[in-house]
Amino acid sequence: MARARKKRKPVAEMNVVPYIDVMLVLLVIFMVTAPMLNQGVKVDLPKVSSEALPQDNNTQVLTISIKADKTYYWNLGSEVDTQKQQDKAMTLPQMTDAVTKIIRAGNEGGKHTQVFIRGDKSVDYGSVMGAMGGLQKAGVGNVGLITEAP
């Protein structure tokens, strides 16, 4: 007996496996290149507006200023120093020694010392980080960064 053959209709489905492969390759490429996009980007830090910090009678304020020529200055008072520089220019090790003495004297007198860094806009990031490392060695736990109002 002869069987009747049915004609097969062409399948109209699209093969999506190659498209999935391409998408996975693109995903891997983006995952590899995304961290590189953040490196080597020149950043101009913005000017920030903020409120003044509350003052305490039992607090002394130490302001470290870093000039463009990588010299360090300090000023100790009851308010944040934004312009004055009462001391001579110092290197980073000299500044660390001076700050250590100031912090110890303040602790013995029962005063809390707030420390702020004023870095020139053109000073490199390493100089600011060097100052923060020196302050950490001196026993300072919290450091504030001073910016200009816009």
pLDDT in tens, 6-57: 778 877 788 889 999 999 999 999 998 887 665 443 444 446 666 666 666 6
Length of the chain: 150
The pTM of the full predicted model, rounded to 2 decimals, is 0.56
Domain ranges of the chain: 59-145
59-145 placed in CATH 3.30.420.270: yes
- Cβ-based neighbours of 100, under 8 Å, separated by 6 or more: 137, 138, 139
For residue 119, give the 3-state DSSP assignment. Answer: strand
Q: What is the pLDDT, as a whole number, of residue 117?
A: 83
What is the per-residue pLDDT across 91-127, written as a single tens digit (0 to 9) for each? 888 888 888 888 888 777 777 778 888 888 888 888 8
Supply 145's token pair. Answer: 């960064």
Distance, in Å, from the CA atom of 127 to the CA atom of 144, rounded to the nearest integer, reads 15
